[in-house]
């Protein structure tokens, strides 16, 4: 008999509310024979204020036992900027070697976009998750003086770049359009740029069916608003991926529907799935948050664990729900969750 | 009697064509008593292929003699990526200490935007021009092997950050809305982030009339498409500025109308003005390029040299021309230049 052993991290702000709906839909979609076990972990601002901890070695040992992790949101204005980001979110990505940060962008029927003319948008971004300027390399000298110097080092390795580039080629190969775009800034960041470009071109030889191209990150932001339909799969580094996936989410329906997976494809450690939106403390606890991004993150989680049929059912339910939204009065977080649970069960 | 001694660098691709129109409008707008002298320099792909040089010390000595520089575009597919960017464009910015990279974004009446609902857009980005990951710091070890490591170092100094932040506060103070937004990623790039944030907050105390806020660069891309009207003046680092100004150009009428100044406010060295678009080799020599961005760059140049009335006249002429475009048949590069020259002279 099959089973899913899930670590659940509701986190801060609206995290609690949206994760509850994610789990509701997950329970509803799973066949009877799949045993779902969940264990909730209290990470984030509350824990930090109570203990000063963000994520300890003992925490990591426990999390490691699970098949996957579902996260709501981490972050609160009461905690200094960077503490939870570096101390929890990034620490987890690095500890569990989440090198494939997967972010699909699909403009679903009925969903509003800030772009004129309702363009067709359906691409995925494969963002590297463990290198680049996210490594924490760098430092400060003469802090607080007029002679302060602060550096940030982007670290890029052949090992780290090649594995994520290969993952992106595999994903491109499996899609109907079979197109992969490398986004970087290789005309200025020439050291990292050459590494990325050379590896991209080398791996491309093994995928003759995949059409490839290269775009500078600044130009990519232009295409994302003038011609987003040109993209199928994008592969890019950690920082560029951070920036363009927020823009991609904005043009394809907003961060209310943007899902993401922090994936370790080797499954050596559990992968983590989370909505792209943050903790949104201004609307927390009011039942106003849209749980759709979390529900779509659950679909990514299921696909990662091999439950493709169930992932498809969730994505179809979300499409159907979004298509009808315009005609419905505004619903609460749990009403949307209920509606999706009914659809996936039906 | 007044005079302007201008270095003109047409450069590659459409650079020649658009610079010719920029100069046409400049001549037409200047009062009789201002003597305009121009000297043309041949930099870019042609020079590189002929001599292997991009920009020598002797070139810099010559350029230094001028009051300002007008550049068309540099870059050609025949030159390996990075050679002209690092060897010419960035070398010039660093040599002449162009630390204020000024990029206005204004959606003018009649101009198409990819955004729905024709929002009001009128902000300027003050991009730092001599630090960040643009310094060329970093390197590669074990190049071409499976163990290659490539680094890029973002260098940020209190000196470099404070001067550009001050410049941005001055510009914000002089605008009706008096609002300044710092864009960074201080929750991840904590070393540089703290430096930027601390200096920003410190300088803010001297400008009590300026309203300030802070936005992460990823979130800034969302606002640029969902609520660009929220921005008045943005100050940001070199790389974030590169990325968001291309997006800003795209939403406010496209790079066909985006002007920029690489400014040394101390006037120790000449400042350089250039359209944001590149050399567009695909349409070069066909009279198809829109010279508007170059003409608006000439307006920035005039304002920098203290010719505010003439700069205003150019901006008004461009507004009027753009407002009528929809009703006109397509015009060539020189026809647009002629029309603008007539308007500014009249
Ligand atoms: C919160 C922050 C650390 C994070 C990142 O920069 O990766 C977020 O913006 C994201 O995209 O998941
Ligand atoms: C061509 C390149 C070096 C340049 C930059 O990255 O600054 C360009 O993109 C720009 O924005 O002026």
> Is B134 considered catalytic here?
yes
Measured from the CB, is residue B89 less than 6 Å from ligand 2?
Answer: yes
List C-alpha distances in Å: B294 to A274, B26, B85.
45, 11, 19
Q: Structural domain of residue A92, as residue ranges? A: 1-108+256-346
**Does A205 lie in the same domain as A131?**
yes
CB contacts under 8 A, A 70-129 vs B, are: 81-82, 85-86, 90, 113-117
Nearest-5° Cα angle at B194, A186 to B200: 100
Residue-wise pLDDT for A102-161, tens only, equals 999 999 988 999 999 989 999 999 999 999 999 999 999 999 999 999 999 999 999 999
Asked if the structure places residue B107 within a domain, the reply is no
- Given a cut of 90, whether residue B1 has pLDDT beyond it is no
**Distance between CA atoms of A86 and A93, rounded to whole angstroms?**
10
Let me know whether B234 and B302 are in one domain.
no
Nearest Cα residue to A66 out of A99, A89, A92: A92
Average pLDDT score over residue span A210-228 = 98
* Residue A84 and residue A136 share a domain: no
Whose structure tokens read 């419905």?
A328
Ligand 1 site, CB within 6 A: A 85, 89-90, 242; B 187-188, 218
B243 with A217: Cβ contact below 8 A: yes
C-alpha A221/C-alpha A185 separation (Å) is 12
* B187 CA to centre of ligand 2 in angstroms: 25
Nearest to B121 by CA among B257, B229, B226: B229
Give B242 Cα–ligand 2 centroid separation in angstroms: 6
The whole-number pLDDT of residue A327 equals: 86
Q: Please choose from A90, A94, A134, A242 the residue to mutate so as to test ligand 1's pocket, defined by most ligand atoms within 8 A of CB.
A: A242
Do residues B73 and B159 both lie within one domain? Answer: no
Active site residue B246: yes
Q: What CATH number corresponds to the domain at position A304?
A: 3.40.718.10
Q: Does A7 appear as a known binding residue?
A: no
Residue showing tokens 């020079």? B47
The answer to whether residue B346 scores a pLDDT higher than 80 is no
Domain boundary, last residue among A252, A278, A299: A252
Mean pLDDT for all residues in chain A? 97
Same-domain check for residues B224 and B269: no
In our burial notation (b when 16+ CB lie closer than 10 A, e otherwise), range A164-183 reads bbbbbbebbeeeeebbbbbb
- Per-residue pLDDT band for A275 (boundaries 50, 70, 90) equals very high
In chain B, which residues have their Cβ closer than 8 Å to the Cβ of A251? Answer: 225
Cβ B237 under 6 angstroms from ligand 2: no
Residues B332 and B282 in one domain: yes
Nearest ligand to the C-alpha atom of residue B219: 1
A191–chain B Cβ distance below 8 A for any pair:
yes
CA of A241 to the centre of ligand 1 (A): 10
Q: Which residues of A touch B85 (CB under 8 A)?
A: 187-188
Confidence (pLDDT) at B165 = 98
What is the pLDDT averaged over residues B239-249?
98
Confidence of residue B139 (pLDDT cuts 50, 70, 90): very high
Last residue of a domain, one of B205, B230, B252: B252
Q: What is the pLDDT of residue B49?
A: 98
Instruction: Report d(CA A50, CA B161) in Å as an integer.
Output: 36
Query: A205 and A303 in one domain?
Result: no
Residues A155-187: pLDDT tens digits? 999 999 999 999 999 999 999 999 999 999 999
**What confidence tens digit (pLDDT) does each residue in A336-346 have?**
999 999 999 97
> Does any domain span residue B89?
yes
- Which residues, 6 or more positions from B89, have their beta carbon under 8 angstroms from its beta carbon? B74
CA of B126 to the centre of ligand 1 (A): 24
pLDDT of residue B156 exceeding 90? yes
Domain for residue B185, yes or no?
A: yes
Q: In B, which residues are within 8 Å of A90 by CB distance?
A: 188
One domain, residues A68 and A131: no
| Residues B192 and B317 both lie in one domain | no
Q: Which of A42, A53, A213, A218 is catalytic?
A: A218
Q: What mean pLDDT is predicted for residues B236-258?
A: 96
Q: What is the mean pLDDT of residues A250-255?
A: 93
- Assess whether A156 and A124 both reside in one domain: yes
Total structural domains within chain A: 2
By Cβ distance, the residue of A190, A218, A243 closest to B218 is: A243
B218 is catalytic: yes
Secondary structure, 3-state, B63-89: HCCCCEEEEEECCCCCCCCCHHHHHHH
Closest ligand to residue A85's CA: 1
pLDDT of residue A346: 74
Q: What is the pLDDT of residue A282?
A: 95
Give the residue from A203, A237, A252 where a domain finishes.
A252
pLDDT in tens, B272-306: 999 999 999 999 999 999 999 999 999 999 999 99
Write the pLDDT tens digit of every residue in B77-123: 999 988 999 999 999 999 999 999 999 999 998 899 999 998 999 99
My answer on whether B80 and B127 are in the same domain is no
Does B106 fall in a domain?
no
A98 and A39 fall within a common domain: yes
Closest C-alpha to B278, from A216, A12, A206 = A216
Annotated binding site of B for NAD(+): 278-290
**pLDDT on residue B154:** 98
| pLDDT value at residue A113 | 95
Q: Could you read off the pLDDT of B190-243 as tens digits, one per residue? A: 999 999 999 999 999 999 999 999 999 999 999 999 999 999 999 999 999 999
Instruction: Return mean pLDDT, chain B.
Output: 97
Is A33 labeled as catalytic in the residue annotation?
Answer: no
């Amino acid at each position: 008999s099959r089973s899913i052993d899930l670590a659940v991290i509701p986190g801060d702000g609206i995290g609690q509310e949206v994760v509850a709906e994610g789990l509701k839909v997950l329970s509803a979609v799973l066949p009877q024979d799949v045993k779902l076990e969940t264990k909730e972990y209290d990470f984030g601002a509350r824990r930090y204020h109570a203990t000063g901890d963000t994520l300890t070695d003992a925490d990591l040992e426990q999390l490691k036992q699970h098949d996957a992790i579902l996260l709501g949101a981490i972050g609160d204005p009461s905690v200094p900027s960077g503490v939870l980001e570096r101390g929890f979110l990034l620490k987890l990505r690095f500890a569990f070697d989440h090198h494939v940060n997967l972010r699909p962008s699909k403009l679903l029927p009925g969903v509003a976009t800030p772009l004129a003319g309702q363009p067709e948008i359906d691409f995925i971004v494969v963002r590297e998750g463990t290198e680049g300027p996210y490594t924490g390399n760098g430092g400060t000298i003469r802090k607080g003086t007029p002679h302060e110097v602060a550096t940030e080092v982007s670290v890029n390795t052949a090992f780290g770049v090649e594995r994520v580039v290969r993952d992106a080629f595999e994903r491109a190969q499996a899609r109907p359009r079979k197109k992969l775009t490398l986004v970087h800034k290789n005309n200025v960041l020439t050291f990292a740029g050459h590494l990325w470009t050379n590896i991209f071109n080398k791996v491309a030889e093994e995928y003759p069916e995949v059409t490839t191209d290269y775009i500078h990150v600044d130009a990519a932001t232009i295409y994302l608003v003038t011609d987003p339909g040109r993209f199928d799969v994008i592969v890019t580094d950690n920082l560029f991926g951070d920036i363009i996936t927020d823009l991609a989410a904005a043009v394809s329906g907003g961060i209310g529907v943007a899902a993401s997976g922090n994936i370790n494809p080797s499954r050596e450690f559990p992968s983590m799935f989370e909505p792209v939106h943050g903790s949104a403390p201004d609307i927390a606890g009011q039942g106003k948050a849209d749980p759709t991004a979390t529900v779509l993150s659950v679909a990514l989680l299921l696909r990662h664990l091999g439950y493709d049929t169930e992932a498809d059912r969730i994505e179809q339910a979300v499409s159907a729900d979004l298509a009808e939204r315009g005609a419905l009065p505004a619903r609460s977080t749990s009403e949307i969750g209920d509606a999706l649970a009914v659809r996936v069960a039906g």
